[in-house]
Amino acid sequence: MTEQDDGLGERARAVLAIERRSWAGPGAKERAVREQLGISPTHYYQLLNALLDDERALAHDPVTVNRLRRIREAQRERRG
């Protein structure tokens, strides 16, 4: 895995790139995850959740990471 100066691996950068995109309809994102990354959507979301707590991901893409952190926090608050 190649790394840039931010210390993130290629897969981590690819996960963040998928999150930056907007998706046309149901299933499009999950299909892209399988085709582009070769992993299951479940594994993808596990990786994404870990990335949201990684300061290297925040340094690499602060807009996306902060947006996703806000969404995650709102979901946690709704759950209880």
DSSP per position, 14-33? HHHHHHHS--SSTTHHHHHI
Q: So where are the chain's domains?
A: 10-79
Q: Measured between alpha carbons, how far is 30 from 27 in angstroms, rounded to an integer?
A: 5
Reported as a single tens digit per residue, the pLDDT across 47-70 is: 999 999 999 999 999 999 999 999
Q: What is the mean pLDDT of residues 18-47?
A: 94
CB atoms within 10 A of CB 47: 16
In sequence order, which residues have a C-beta less than 8 Å from that of residue 61 and are 6 or more positions away? 16, 20
Q: In this predicted structure, what is the pLDDT of residue 25?
A: 86
- Going from the C-alpha of 57 to that of each of 36, 71, 80, the distances in angstroms are 19, 16, 27
